[in-house]
Amino acid sequence: MTMSKPCGVRIAGVGSAVPDKRLTNADLASMVDTSDEWIVQRTGIKERRIIDRDAGESQCWLATESLRRALDDASMDAKDLDLIIHASVSSEMTCPSNACRVADNLDAGTTGAFDLIAACCGYVYSMNVADSLIRSGRHQAIGVIGCDAMSTLIDYTDRGVSILFGDAAGAAVLTRDEDPNRGCVYQVMEGDGRGWPSLFIPRNERDVPSGVSAPPTQLGCLRMDGREVYKFAVNKFREVIEDALSATGLSVDDVAQFVCHQSNMRIIESAKAKIGLPDEKVYVNIDRYGNSSSGSVGLCVDQLWKAGKINSGDTIIMVAFGGGMTWSSSVWNV
């Protein structure tokens, strides 16, 4: 495809999917030495959703359902897409990408498809990449999915990790728009690889760096130094939001919603208090879904969209941080 005149990007539709099965704090308290009171006080989480593998549910199924719903919302068919970007740390296989499997599930025919790994930043990174590809003129319609089934990566004997995570997917269908001011008007995709030992999923014992302070868990399960991640996140979250506001010249009043990665209620509350963000502009669903990694921001966008709190003409700021360490923002004129 040849390069074309400047264009913008439209969010043509959004969707999300969560499993029906609930994992409550009481359930976890029956598995490890913890309590509802401790979890709510330290994280704000009351329950999370997890896939039921015995019922045939999978990470790929969640991803597929979210994009199916986004396509329905956009009144489009999967064959209209020329690219699918699927962000996850919990894909069943590395080959093929789950983007290809979603394309097959939705009968998309021939379409570009790849997976992107940026941990909890996956959805925001993918929205940034998709916006840039459409603006470049190389793609016209892209399906973006952020999806994680973190329950497949959790050692449920590790109380420092198991309490935080849940399974969810959020998707968006992005299309070329004639108005260049529509779409992503500012974006950040950054990271500091030196921080990777704070959060990782080792396949082999040799993947574990020497001197790592996170407790040992089963191979294939997430290891996390919660205190270290907390210290990093509580500052970085505020910095990323402040940077997005100052770089765009937007005030808090100009922004309809700050759509934040749902990592820990205390981290979100701290950023809100330091920047002075009003409650009604910072959506929180961590109490019901926990931290769903790549799924989290897309799930929030869908719920806000369906509730009429994100509308055409609004400006929104999406922000996330995660393993890597990575951090990201995306400012959109919807």
Residues forming the active site: 120, 261, 291
CB of 233 to ligand COA, least distance (A): 6
CB of 158 to ligand COA, least distance (A): 9
**Is 185 or 325 the residue whose CB approaches ligand COA more closely?**
325
CB of 164 to ligand COA, least distance (A): 6
One-letter identity of residue 240: V
Binding residues for ligand COA (CB under 6 A) = 34, 38, 42-43, 120, 159-160, 163-164, 224, 226-227, 229-230, 233, 263-264, 291, 322
The alpha carbon of 145 is separated from its chain's Cα centroid by a whole number of angstroms, namely: 9
**Nearest Cα to Cα of residue 13 among 178, 172, 176:** 172
Alpha-carbon torsion angle 292, 298, 304, 308, nearest 10:
-160
Instruction: For the chain, count helices (H), then strands (E).
Output: 10, 13
CB of 39 to ligand COA, least distance (A): 6
Residue with tokens 């969810």: 168
**Is 49 or 135 the residue whose CB approaches ligand COA more closely?**
49
The strands making up 8-17's β-sheet, listed across from edge to edge, are 8-17, 167-177, 141-149, 83-87, 112-116
Count Cβ neighbours within 10 Å for each residue of 208-238 and write b for 16 or more, e otherwise.
Answer: beeeeebeebeeebbbbbbebbbebbbebbb
**Is 78 or 233 the residue whose CB approaches ligand COA more closely?**
233
Q: Any idea what DSSP says for residue 21?
A: -
Which residue number places its CB atom closest to ligand COA? 226
One-letter identity of residue 39: I
The set of residues, in sequence order, having a beta carbon less than 8 Å from that of 83 and lying 6+ positions away, is 111, 112, 113, 130, 133, 139, 141, 142, 143
CB of 137 to ligand COA, least distance (A): 34
State which H helix or E strand residue 321 sits in.
strand 315-322
Query: How far is the C-alpha of 84 from the C-alpha of 111, rounded, in Å?
Result: 7
Query: How far is the C-alpha of 141 from the C-alpha of 178, rounded, in Å?
Result: 13
- Return the structure tokens found at 67: 């994009």
Query: How far is the C-alpha of 299 from the C-alpha of 286, rounded, in Å?
Result: 11
**Is 115 or 148 the residue whose CB approaches ligand COA more closely?**
148
**Is 61 or 327 the residue whose CB approaches ligand COA more closely?**
327
**Is 22 or 42 the residue whose CB approaches ligand COA more closely?**
42
CB of 134 to ligand COA, least distance (A): 28
**Is 81 or 260 the residue whose CB approaches ligand COA more closely?**
260
Query: How far is the C-alpha of 12 from the C-alpha of 7, rounded, in Å?
Result: 15
CB of 93 to ligand COA, least distance (A): 23
